[in-house]
Amino acid sequence: MKLQRKNRLRAATLGALAVSGALVLTACGSDDNSGSTGGTGGKTSAASNIKCDGKGQLLASGSSAQKNAMDLWVKNYTAVCKDVQINYKPNGSGAGIQELLQGKTTFAGSDSALKPEEVVASKKLFKGGQAIDLPMVGGPIAVGYNVPGVSNLVLDADTLGKIFNSKITNWNDPAIAALNKGAKLPNLKIQAFHRSDDSGTTDNFTKYLKAAAPSAWPYESGKKWEAKGGQSADGSSGVSSQVKQTSGSISYFELSYATASSISTVKLDTGASAPVEATADNASKAIAEAKIVGTGSDLALQLAYNTKAEGAYPLALVTYEIVGTKGNKADTLAALKSYLAYISSSDAQTALKQLGYAPLPSEIAAKVQSTVKTLS
């Protein structure tokens, strides 16, 4: 129990620093006493196992769900590779892909795989190649809530669908009470918040509702929110902030935002023998059931949103780094490959657990690393 509290405190501290940290992280003024050998020319840090190559500035944008992971990775990488600067703008998956296709960024982060029309459009930018999906960040989508007097809340997909579809509007509704016997649910209006921006987190959340509770969620899944009613905010930071400050609120966001702000999260009744908590390990069990459905060097995954496996948390997402197979900018290609090789490494993936993310299964990470080597 002491270890668990210690880890939780450590994750909250790191998450809070990541959320409030500067958007542009560079190696300028960095103090590194690890004995590493930074710089260019393919040198490797013995301490961190980071291989530096290339130089320049990598511009990227997209998924806000992976912002805390990016902040940690960029800090670690640029502390060693001092000739590279990385600017990641967490403006949402849809905006990230759009900016990549416009040639404004080096890579994009997206919580859902490329659409066929986006792949076609990418061929105009990446001459002789196309954009592909590289799974990089895994983790649970936490359902955070702020209900006075309730610290342990269980919901299922059907109830969640009705809450976010404005069919269940009060916290003492019989459907919620049936899942939480003995809980003192207040007579309080539900304040449901969804993302206002095009969001891969929304895409994954609605895919889960569509797969696990189709009768309660009559809408198509997608990055745009389709249900009527509710309130909205921009980005994972926006909706999590609303939950933190609004009594009766509920929303969905990546787990590190809940950890950083000490927001209570829902346990899911999946049909397994016990409700499943949103944790990195439980999300890993669900992600391990994913299938690669991309073709060629594309590694898009199909997640098992309706799994009933014991201890598997099905409301998970995988964030992809979107890059070109060929036709990448020559002046930043070496740095891009060096950075992608690092963040897909065992060291970088393991480091994510302290922020509440789920490391990629080793076999998927190995395929990502092999693909990164082929980029040109």
Structurally, how many domains does the chain consist of?
Answer: 2
Tracing tokens 């496996």 back to the chain, one arrives at 309
Q: Are residues 131 and 145 in the same domain?
A: no
Query: Do 177 and 202 belong together in one domain?
Result: yes
From the list 296, 349, 291, 288, the residue with the least C-alpha distance to 132 is: 296
pTM: 0.76
Give the CATH number, domain containing residue 154. Answer: 3.40.190.10
Helices (H), the chain: 2-20, 67-80, 93-101, 116-125, 157-164, 174-179, 200-212, 235-245, 255-261, 280-287, 330-343, 346-351, 362-373
What is residue 36's predicted lDDT score, i.e. its pLDDT?
34
**57, 76: one domain:** yes
Angle at 63 between CA 231 and CA 95, to 5 degrees: 80
For 58-75, the pLDDT digits (tens) are 999 999 889 999 999 999
What does the alpha-carbon distance between residue 353 and residue 224 come to, in Å, rounded to a whole number? 29
Which residues, other chains included, contact 86 with Cβ-Cβ below 8 Å and sequence gap of 6+?
Answer: 25, 26, 57, 58, 60, 74, 77, 78, 339
Q: What is the pLDDT of residues 303-357, one digit of tens each?
A: 999 899 999 999 999 999 999 999 999 999 999 999 999 999 999 999 998 888 8
Which of 232, 259, 286 is where one domain is finished? 286
Asked if 175 contacts 159 with a C-beta cutoff of 8 angstroms, the reply is: yes
Given 237, 262, 286, the domain boundary residue is 286
> Which of 233, 259, 286 is the last residue in one of the domains?
286
Is 281 in the same domain as 369?
no
Instruction: Judge if 120 and 152 occupy the same domain.
Output: no
Q: Give the range of the structural domain holding residue 261, as residue numbers without chain letter.
A: 141-286
> What mean pLDDT, rounded, does the chain reach?
88
Q: Taking 90 as the threshold, does the pLDDT of residue 38 lie above it? A: no
93-119 mean pLDDT: 96
**For helices 330-343 and 362-373, angle between their N-to-C axes, nearest 10 degrees:** 160
For residue 80, is it within any domain?
Answer: yes
pLDDT at 69 (0 to 100): 94
